[in-house]
Chain A
Amino acid sequence: MNTTFRRGRAAAVAAVTMSLVLAAAACSGKASEGGGDGDVKTGPGVTDDKITVTALTDLTGVYAALGKGVTQAQKLYFDGLNKQGGVCGRDVELVVRDHGYDVQKALAAYSEMAPKSAAIPQLIGSPITMALRSRIENDKLLTIPQAWAHTLLGSKYVQVTGTTYDIDMINAISFLRDKQGVKSGDTIGHLRLEGDYGQSALAGVKYAAEKGGLKVAEQQVKPTDADMTAQVAAFRRANVKAILVSVAPRQAASLVGVAAASGLKVPMVGSNSAFAQQLLATPAGPAFEASYYIAQASPPISADVPGLKKLAADYQAAYKGEPLDLSVVSGYSTAAVIGEALKRACAKKDLTREGIVNAHRDGTTVDLGLGLPKEDYTQWTKAAARATYISRPDKNVLGGTKVEVASFESPEAKSYDPPAG
């Protein structure tokens, strides 16, 4: 065999290819980085005619209902913004990446889009936000998670909007004591999911219960559980006077249905993630209308606010037949937070990532006319707002929920100091 010849040829080929490679590498596009055109300083994600922002959302996983509503509402906002001329003469483009609530897929999508984005107006999932947090801080990307656990606080670049779950629960307990006859010495039940959402809510429940002299009966469930019979039995044994609900809509429906059927007639207050309009069409619907309330920072879309009416009309025009639920307000208002930050960064002629974050944190609050409480973005270790709406399901109103108690801030919520994550 002529191995020497072969080896020689192989080596030659390798050497030639290698040198070609290295020569080419020197002019590879990877080495360059953006800068700016004399007038406005720009960073990654900003070109001469376009600003790219990325939504890392869930369109195929367990939070697909939330993800779809939020994404469509955000598209609506940015389309409107672009019709008015965009920001700094540039269109804002919303790129959507679906991660199906899978952390690894979200990490991959982030790796793809982060280098090309100026901000992240939507990030669904507590575990995903936690997983990306250190990278977001490294990349200085202003990010708005669609999750409200207080453990997400504490990062300059991650803006949790509105109230956190613990504060909603504190205000909910205040509502139960003031309006629903729960008094000192009573036991209240708390049904919660394992993980951040449930944990955060529990922190608030425990705090408010201690302040009000209440005992707490806890029941923890998994996201895949769908039958709450055993939990209702346990609440009945504990003789609870009210139940706080920090689970997914599916578990909430089972809880409400089983409680009604077994004669446990107590008021229940859920977090914003513990209700979905679609549940009113199920057999549990009437029970929801009879005894269920929702505690959250933003008003239901049926509230008597002109801005909301306009949003509802625009949304229905753009997406015929799509449900007008809580996710629409949430998506629109969070997109607006990014939009406003971009506008102010533009005014300061600094569209770098640092410039966008600083513009966002500069203390200006903008009233979108959506009935949202005033939010304070200057501090990132505390929740942006402490006032909560209490609403209740009603299948005859737009969006399926109506205002029960207008936005209020209980004394306990005022004095509460959430442990930062």
Chain B
Amino acid sequence: MNYSIETENLSLWYGDFQALIDVSVKIRDGQITSLIGPSGCGKSTLLRCFNRVNERYGNVTTEGKIEVLGKNIYDADVSLPELRKSVGMVFQRPNPLPISVYENILFGLRTHSPIRSMTRTESDQIVEEALTSVFLWEDLKDKLKVRATSLQLEQQQKLCIARLLPLKPKIILMDEPCSALDAKGTLAVEELMAVLAGTYTFLIVTHNMAQARRVSKECIYMFLGELIEHRETQALFETPQHPKTADYVQMRYG
């Protein structure tokens, strides 16, 4: 089995604060890996390294190596738009753009291709395929012109997943994708991930240990910026090797 993401001795600072300490991790292709741990322990920060969306905040310094799909993403010849095309991201709060459902789906493609390179039939088909893959087509096929921000939260979050698909990403990063959703929405997104895993590599940050157990094949426990343990999910929860992991998964901490 191959690895989609590999880091070696990755350290990251926000100004003077070190948020990641010597993280070395390998994320397997085509399965769901979850990142768990208490708040403020660098899970989201690690996730945000892999499409370099961290750099929006200015005062970030990184050390160490990150290889995504076999390519060091800090190499000078790496194009950020291309990286982000192959590494999609879903955020904590659903953040569809304030344009129509239809245009949300096509937004990514339109930013990456010259103007008017798609015909109407092509784009219609792309939208239908993307919405069908996230089981939204039936609900939204008559609402394609509706402003995406007016949908229900669950639909918004599914739409945020759907809009990644036309770009044909290899990896999808998810930063607590269900924390704004109710139980039904959470379940729906989880089912969706289970269906899409295999085609895409998922890396998901979650606070919800039950969710990590339900959805992920492998699980990574992080604590205060360090990677403590990375094993198969079941093994990590049932026979944690590290006492800190044991404290957390048995809910003595966090």
A and B are interacting partners: no
Could you list which residues of chain A lie within 8 angstroms of chain B, going by C-beta atoms?
Answer: none
